[in-house]
Amino acid sequence: MPVPAELQKSWDSADTMLSENKFDEALAELREAWPLCENDGQKVRTLRQAGDIGTAHGLKEEGSQKRHWQKALKSYKRALKIDPKNKETRRSMNSLLSMMDEKAISVGAGMQFFDEGNPTPMGLVAMVIAGMLLLTTIKLISDALQEDVANPIVSLEVSYVDDSGERVEGIIEIELFQDHAPVHVENFISHTQNFRYDFTTFHRVIGDNVDTPQYDPFMIQGGDIDRKDGAGGYAANWYGYCNGNEASPGDCDYEEWTIPDEADNGLLHSPGMLAMAKTSAANTGGSQFYIVPTGSSPSHLDGVHTVFGQVVSGQNHVDAITEVPTDGNDNPVDDVRLLHVTVNE
């Protein structure tokens, strides 16, 4: 399949910016190019190029080398998750890993027990210890197996311009309540694992809603995986609904797929809660979501919009985003970017 002209132009522009040491501009160009990718091969090329830029950035700025290289490694790994056999990406990643090892820079995951599916020396030791514990504490392990399975945690890497005028990045971690809203959690995780939330924006930020001052600030909304402006988005899988109406999958284009409401699950709109955005009609959620900031308790949404998660760390970034300048349509003047979303089940 031929590469779209605009995508090729972005790749070339990013390469030029890289040669001029304009690393941040080059990465921004690739973020804009991401929606132009039409197949996995183009996504892999874009992610590998992002990894190459991060690697070069770390070589140029040794003071922040660790941060740039860990981000570059993440880009390479995401590319290999799409295409594990891509030799060029693997060569680039292995070269970076060698440099990180030489500088004693961790890969960002603490003690590493497995590398590409094979146990590391630390992993072998851990397995021996685990075997010994299994033999001596079989009853405790048996009891533990009866406990509830932990909820998945998703990490949202965000970027926004703070009140000092500087662009900052941060991580928002959210626990997903799979027992309370199984369809919503599955839908969110499916979008995440297919990288659809990556390089989208929080397109709607209401921090000073004069119409409902009791909910000031109100919420930050993102997740438009389709149009990036709040007018698009769809369900990750077929859940039996087309634009809110029960239907058969053959009668509905995938861009009209929606999910059934689970708003009667007892979870309320308190600060830090994650909920599904939708129209005023029932069962019209798709991919868009919103997070409630500190000081907001929009109870009028309880039982209408499904709450399915809660921030466990990074609420300060949610609150900071509510302070960004917006236009008359609640769109941030400077993009509030959702760079990457990952899930740790």
| Tens digits of residue pLDDT in 96-155 | 888 888 888 876 544 445 544 455 555 555 566 666 666 655 554 444 444 456 899 999
Q: Domain of 296: which CATH number?
A: 2.40.100.10
Residue 1's pLDDT is what? 72
Residue 142's pLDDT is what? 46
Residue 116's pLDDT is what? 46
Over the stretch 198-210, which tens digit does the pLDDT of each residue have? Answer: 999 999 999 865 5
Residue 119's pLDDT is what? 54
Say whether both 140 and 267 belong to one domain.
no
* DSSP-based three-state secondary structure for 176: strand
Residue 146's pLDDT is what? 47
Give the pairing of strands 289-291 and 219-222: antiparallel
Long-range pairs for 118-122 at CB < 8 Å and ≥24 separation? none
Whole-angstrom distance, CA of residue 73 vs CA of residue 106: 11
Q: Domain of 92: which CATH number?
A: 1.25.40.10
> Residue 111's CB: how many other CB atoms inside 10 A?
10
Q: Half-sphere exposure of residue 101, counting CA atoms within 13 Å on the CB side?
A: 7
The better pLDDT of the pair 228, 92 is held by 92
Q: What is the chain's mean pLDDT, rounded? A: 86
Q: How confident is the model at residue 32 (pLDDT cuts 50, 70, 90)?
A: confident
Whole-angstrom distance, CA of residue 7 vs CA of residue 12: 9
Whole-angstrom distance, CA of residue 345 vs CA of residue 192: 12
Say whether both 202 and 307 belong to one domain.
yes
Say whether both 44 and 137 belong to one domain.
no
Q: Is 107 domain-assigned?
A: no
Say whether both 138 and 183 belong to one domain.
no
Q: Is 26 domain-assigned?
A: yes
Give me the residues paired with residue 241 across strands.
246, 258
Residue 216's pLDDT is what? 66
Burial group, residue 129, by CB count within 10 angstroms (0-12, 13-18, 19+): exposed
Say whether both 271 and 315 belong to one domain.
yes
Residue 123's pLDDT is what? 57
Say whether both 15 and 76 belong to one domain.
yes
- Residue entry with tokens 């009791």: 214
Say whether both 221 and 320 belong to one domain.
yes
Say whether both 338 and 262 belong to one domain.
yes
Task: Record the tokens describing residue 325, joined without a space.
Answer: 């300048």
Burial group, residue 22, by CB count within 10 angstroms (0-12, 13-18, 19+): middle
Number of domains in the chain: 3
Say whether both 92 and 39 belong to one domain.
yes
Asked if pLDDT for residue 297 goes beyond 90, the answer is no
Over the stretch 171-217, which tens digit does the pLDDT of each residue have? Answer: 999 999 999 999 999 999 999 999 999 999 999 999 865 555 555 68
338 close to 146: Cβ distance less than 8 angstroms:
no
202 close to 221: Cβ distance less than 8 angstroms:
yes
Q: How confident is the model at residue 325 (pLDDT cuts 50, 70, 90)?
A: very high
* Average pLDDT, integer, range 162-167: 89
Residue 228's pLDDT is what? 81
* Average pLDDT, integer, range 336-342: 94
* Average pLDDT, integer, range 55-60: 93
Q: Is 81 domain-assigned?
A: yes
Say whether both 335 and 254 belong to one domain.
yes
Whole-angstrom distance, CA of residue 148 vs CA of residue 94: 39
Residue 207's pLDDT is what? 81
Over the stretch 70-100, which tens digit does the pLDDT of each residue have? Answer: 889 989 998 888 888 888 999 899 888 888 8
Give me the residues paired with residue 344 across strands.
153
- CA distances 25 to 13, 15, 50, 78, 338, Å, are 10, 11, 11, 21, 16
Which of 6-10, 31-35, 109-113 is modeled with the greatest confidence? 6-10
Q: Is 138 domain-assigned?
A: yes
Nearest to 340 by CA among 177, 170, 183: 170
Asked if pLDDT for residue 328 goes beyond 90, the answer is no
Give the structural domain span for 274: 153-344
Nearest to 277 by CA among 263, 288, 267, 291: 288
Q: What percent of the chain has pLDDT over 90?
A: 63
Threshold 0.95, pTM exceeds: no
Give the pairing of strands 200-201 and 337-344: antiparallel
Whole-angstrom distance, CA of residue 236 vs CA of residue 212: 32
Q: What stretches of the chain show up as alpha helix (H) in DSSP?
A: 5-19, 23-33, 40-60, 65-82, 87-102, 121-136, 138-144, 182-193, 315-321
Over the stretch 249-284, which tens digit does the pLDDT of each residue have? Answer: 888 999 999 999 999 999 999 999 999 999 999 999
Say whether both 158 and 305 belong to one domain.
yes
Whole-angstrom distance, CA of residue 108 vs CA of residue 69: 10
Q: Is 109 domain-assigned?
A: no
Say whether both 340 and 207 belong to one domain.
yes
Name the DSSP letter for residue 271. T
